[in-house]
Amino acid sequence: MFAVRFDPNNIVQEAVAGEESSSRPVKRARDLDDEGSNSSDDEEEDVTEIPEKDENGTPEAEDSTSSNVADGEGDIDMEETHELPKKHSSIISRFKQTISLQDQISPKDMVDNQEIAQEHVSGNALEQIPQPAIVKDRLSKQAASEHKSVAWLNTTKIHYDNSMIKPFSDFSNHLHPRLLQNIQKHFSSESFPIQTALLENVLPVINFSLEATRKHLTRRVGDVLVNASTGSGKTLAYSIPIAQLLFKRTVNRLRVLIVVPTKLLINQVYDTISKLSQGSGLIVSISKLENSVREEHKKFLQSEPDILISTPGRLVDHLQMQSISMRNLQVLILDEADHLLNQSFQNWCPELMQRIATDKQDERPGNVIKMVFSATLTTNTEKLHGLNLHNSKLFLMDSVKLYNLPAKLQEFLIRIPTAKSSYKPLILLHLLDFLKKSKILVFVKSNEASMRLACLLNIMIGKGLGQQHAIQTINSNSSKAENKRLVAEFARAHCRLQNRILITTDLMSRGIDINDISDVINYDPPISSQQYVHRCGRTARAHSDGNAYNFLVGKGEKDFWEHHIDEDLSRDVTAPAPKDWNEGPAPSESTEDNGKALISISDEEEQTYKESLVALKDKATGKSSET
């Protein structure tokens, strides 16, 4: 998982050189893939764990992609780079999309090619090669935005908004009484907006089918795509309908399969469904890498689960071992679907689709209800097409921008002049001092950078620069157990006396549900709008407040944020607009000029900072660091 090993000798050169060279992100995922797929999207199954070996002693297939993970930058989706035929079909598919978009352009918006041809070839005897129409800028921007979501065109859009909060008791006619009781007891008395939207649309159809004829249940309900912000309660949104569907089942058969990308998510989903299904006798099973596949195989044969939660790799193992049958499958759920669909190992998706068709002896779409959830739902036509969707409804808030941010997220842009980029760690320390009693995640571009930064901050604090903060880092030098312990400790920690800070790579950007993280700092910029959404989504969860701070060095990073991240984002009408920290006011009662306070560095501080860098180097090379 953590492929980049810590090289202490590089520690100081990179502390400075790395900061200086970071004014423009080097390589962007957007350049590689429309989806912005990136290293973190190929991470293995447990954010806190080191790659495991399978029974033969070889690394698990999922881990094979993870060697790129720790270094957030410059990573390329393995599938995109190595599977040429697939790449060709993707290019052809995009070409077709462009042609179809071009068909929608009205003649008045075309720029006359002939005129341009005249300009360029006059005096030249060569004949102009026919060119596609050039679209005027206004329309090209609009077309570009539509082009991004062209994969969603053939869906019925169901819009919802943040006002759609309802008491769960309003659904009492549609929910089994015990299920309603479980929801109110373990979760909440009110549904979140995406839950309201989904329950209103899906529950009546499920209940009608349960009472009338079950024959066409799956096709009647149709497929469900959900593009809802991080922390909006998607897990409960899909768990309630499936609990309602199965609450009165009499024979245990595998009827619901939930595929998630990480072990951590398996546990969260299992916890939710177990609480919901109390009193129903439903058998909910999980399948994950740390369990013995043979033990699981035996268990599933002895007692077929009603609901199985698995990661894709382990699912394929069970399909191949015939541990489970898809014959009675009614619902397939893909959680964090964009992440899952970016994973191509073991060809899990086509393999699963093929197996469903074979076991059900029905290859037509609609033989299983597919529910596809993400905060950054894929806009890749090819990937959605592979799911064989039928009568699909797309739940979304905004049809112009791609992704929604949590309603109560406040974003800050902290612009750092390129000349000051080598002081980034010190500027970070200023910010940490500014935030009080906070639980903070700091995202950096690589595993090594996280270790270096944590070490440097602790040295600076030790030398009297800034206040006391509890700073930890998730890194590969620690054991699997140690990383797990650190995350658990961070989740439990109170911040009454000092800030709790976890410095991490994008390993922590998905699937972490810690509701009291108050601040996320993008110390190194994310490489795509998707990554930004997931990082920021670790705070402001479940309709709580949260802040995201974006360090933007020089014009390059600011432009990148504006044109490649912000452009894809939609914010609720009541949500605060991003604030430029340099223009204040910052989230503090302080009346001083916060922007300057953050980036201005006194001579004394500069001196101590330089000493800290030397101490860091000494520490890395094994010399005594104390002066």
Ligand X SMILES: Nc1ncnc2c1ncn2[C@@H]1O[C@H](COP(=O)(O)OP(=O)(O)OP(=O)(O)O)[C@@H](O)[C@H]1O
- In angstroms, the CA 423 to CA 420 distance is 6
Locus of tokens 């026919």? 130
Helices (H) and strands (E) in the chain, counts: 24, 21
Non-local (6+) Cβ contacts of 144 within 8 A are none
Peptide bond into 51 cis (omega under 30): no
Q: Report residue 140 as tokens.
A: 């090209």
For residues 441 and 439, give the distance between their C-alpha atoms in angstroms, rounded to a whole number: 7
> Is 80 or 513 the residue whose CB approaches ligand X more closely?
513
CA torsion angle for 475, 480, 485, 486 (degrees, to 10)?
10
Q: Which is nearer to ligand X, 232 or 522 (CB)?
A: 232
Nearest approach, Cβ of residue 232 and ligand X (Å): 4
Shortest distance, position 335 Cβ to ligand X, whole Å: 7
Tokens 């071009």 locate to 102
Indicate the residue among 37 and 191 with the shorter CB distance to ligand X: 191
Q: Do 70 and 1 contact (CB within 8 A), yes or no?
A: yes
- Answer for the pair 561, 535: CB distance below 8 angstroms, yes or no: no
CB of 371 to ligand X, least distance (A): 13
Write down the least CB distance from residue 269 to ligand X, Å: 9
> Which residue, 238 or 423, is less far from ligand X as judged by CB?
238
Would you say 25 or 546 has its CB closer to ligand X? 546
Compare residues 345 and 403 and give the one whose CB is closer to ligand X.
403
Task: Compute CA distances 292 → 141, 322, 339, 481, whole Å.
Answer: 52, 15, 25, 19
CB 293 within 8 A of CB 321: yes
Residue number with CB closer to ligand X (261 or 312): 261
Least separation in angstroms between residue 190's CB and ligand X is: 6
Residue pair 416/551 in contact (Cβ under 8 Å)? The answer is yes
SS3 content of the chain, % helix, strand, coil (to 5): 45, 15, 40
Residues in the chain: 627
- Least distance in angstroms from the C-beta of 537 to ligand X: 5
E strands, 459-590, are 469-473, 499-504, 519-522, 546-553, 569-570, 579-580
Residue closer to ligand X by CB (options 146, 513) is 513
Cβ 479 to ligand X shortest distance, Å: 26
- Cβ atoms 431, 518 nearer than 8 A: no
Q: How far is the CB of 559 from ligand X (least distance, A)?
A: 28
Residue 232 CA to residue 243 CA, distance in Å, equals 19
As measured in angstroms, the least distance from the Cβ of 541 to ligand X is 5
42 or 304: CB nearest ligand X: 42
| In the complex, minimum distance from the CB of residue 35 to ligand X, in angstroms, rounded to a whole number | 17
* 135 or 397: CB nearest ligand X: 397
Which phi and psi angles does 224 have, rounded to 5°? Answer: -130, 125
What is the distance between the alpha carbons of residues 193 and 60, in angstroms, rounded to a whole number?
Answer: 39
| 232 versus 438: smaller Cβ distance to ligand X | 232
CA distances from 401 to 55, 405, 570, 611 (A): 45, 11, 6, 47
Q: What is the DSSP letter of 34?
A: T
* Closer residue to ligand X, CB minimum distance, 256 or 416: 256
Report in angstroms how near the CB of residue 367 gets to ligand X at its nearest. 27
> What number of other Cβ atoms are within 10 A of residue 323's Cβ?
21
The helix or strand, by DSSP H or E, that contains position 331, with its residue range, turns out to be strand 331-334
* Cα 262 to Cα 417: distance, rounded to the nearest angstrom: 38
CB of 183 to ligand X, least distance (A): 8
Minimum CB distance to ligand X, residue 173 (Å): 19
Give contact residues for ligand X (rule: CB under 6 A): 187-188, 190-192, 195, 230-236, 375, 511, 513, 515, 537, 541-542
The contacts found for 283-286 with CB under 8 angstroms, 24 or more apart, are: 283/252, 283/307, 284/309, 285/309, 286/310
Compare residues 4 and 199 and give the one whose CB is closer to ligand X.
199
Quick one: which H or E segment has residue 453? helix 447-462
